[in-house]
Amino acid sequence: MLEQKDIRGAYTISADFYRNEKLFALVKENIFARSWQFITDNGRLKAPGHAVPITMLDGLLNEPILLTRDSDDQLHCLSNVCTHRGNIIAEGECHVGSLRCRYHGRRFELDGSFASAPGFEDAINFPSSTDNLPCVPFGQWKTMLFANASTTNQLFALPELVADMDHRLSWLPLENFLFDSTGTREYLVKSNWALYCENYLEGMHIPYVHPDLATALDIKDYRSEIYKYSNLQVGIASSAQECFDLPKSSPDHGQRIGGYYYFLFPNMMFNFYPWGLSINVVQPLSQELTKVLFISYVWDASKRALGAGAALDRVEREDEEIVEKVQKGVKSRFYKRGRYAPRWEKGVSHFHELLKQYVPEIE
């Protein structure tokens, strides 16, 4: 855990952040284009020959990538853009022996290497390494796959991002979690993406905004822990509420934990409940519009409706309503910036520090 910065006298970032188009563009290039993004789980590509096209940060980066499993059972993450004239290669999920661009018939192996190109018989110095599909950096934490749109200038290495989650939840059998399409949905929030994250990063609003959720958690025992590129809010279950049955190998063995709320910089939330995992990915669309993806993995369906992890849709709508109000508020000529509640808003301050670290223009 990081030594926490003293925030007793500190101020939040300037409201200018939520209004300034230049800062939005800087955040896109300096942060999102260099960040690790959750893309899917490895269960999606079980058999060799499977290929899954994905658009990284649809609506912001719009980077077309392609996950493949080759005949040697190796996973690859490739650019989904043909090296000839730039057509998108795989248009949908498919099962194939090799990849073929339907514009002029160029072929690639499932590891991205160039295979053939009709019409290029007379080309000289051809093919060369630039005819292979570029590899997109990707990595795995347990069953979860992450990719990065930057090959040379990533914010940090993936293991640094997931370090505490990995240590803390090493006992959790993620391989037994099942993807659940019914708990998977998209929300459109009329606010800046960072306001949505800031709201997530403090439990102080729970008694005010989520009266039902407040009864499931013992809010006086609420705590947040700060790590280098992530932070964790620990939700202690109130008595008689569902909590994890933590094994001896867990550092939290003996505690009544109802939820682990991990924030992974800059925009991902991994929420672990006794029923399973809810991943939220916050995708900026514009300065004032954000898409939030909810992706669910079920471990024990019988606990779905119990404790702090129940009624996620209702909690989400309660959060959206308040965050959309804040979006209107931060545009006021009278609002400049605020202060941090020292006991509650360490996570918000940590988020702001990271934003400023990568975009020094933020005040």
Nearest distance, CB of residue 101 and ligand FES, angstroms:
3
Nearest distance, CB of residue 85 and ligand FES, angstroms:
4
| DSSP-assigned letter for residue 203 | S
Between 193-200 and 346-358, two packed helices, what is the crossing angle to 10 degrees? 140
Structure-token match 């101020």, residue found = 11
Nearest distance, CB of residue 337 and ligand FES, angstroms:
49
Nearest distance, CB of residue 311 and Fe ion, angstroms:
12
Contact residues: ligand FES, CB under 6 A? 82, 84-85, 87, 101, 103-106
Preceding peptide of 53 cis, ω within 30° = no
Calpha distance 17→335 (Å, rounded): 12
Calpha distance 220→236 (Å, rounded): 9
When asked if residue 164 is in the footprint of Fe ion (CB under 5 A), the reply is no
**Partner touching 85 among Fe ion, ligand FES, none, CB below 5 to 8 Å by kind:** ligand FES
Cβ burial, residue 235 (10 Å; 0-12/13-18/19+): buried
| Of residues 84 and 205, the one with the C-beta less far from ligand FES | 84
| Of residues 51 and 60, the one with the C-beta less far from ligand FES | 51
Stretch that binds Fe ion, among 243-251, 273-281, 318-326, 338-346 (CB under 5 A): 318-326
| Of residues 87 and 143, the one with the C-beta less far from ligand FES | 87
| Of residues 77 and 282, the one with the C-beta less far from Fe ion | 282
When asked if residue 319 is in the footprint of Fe ion (CB under 5 A), the reply is yes
Measure Cα distances from 94 to 28, 101, 180, 295 in Å: 31, 13, 21, 22
Nearest distance, CB of residue 102 and ligand FES, angstroms:
8
- How many residues are recorded in the chain? 363
Binding interface with Fe ion (CB under 5 A): 319
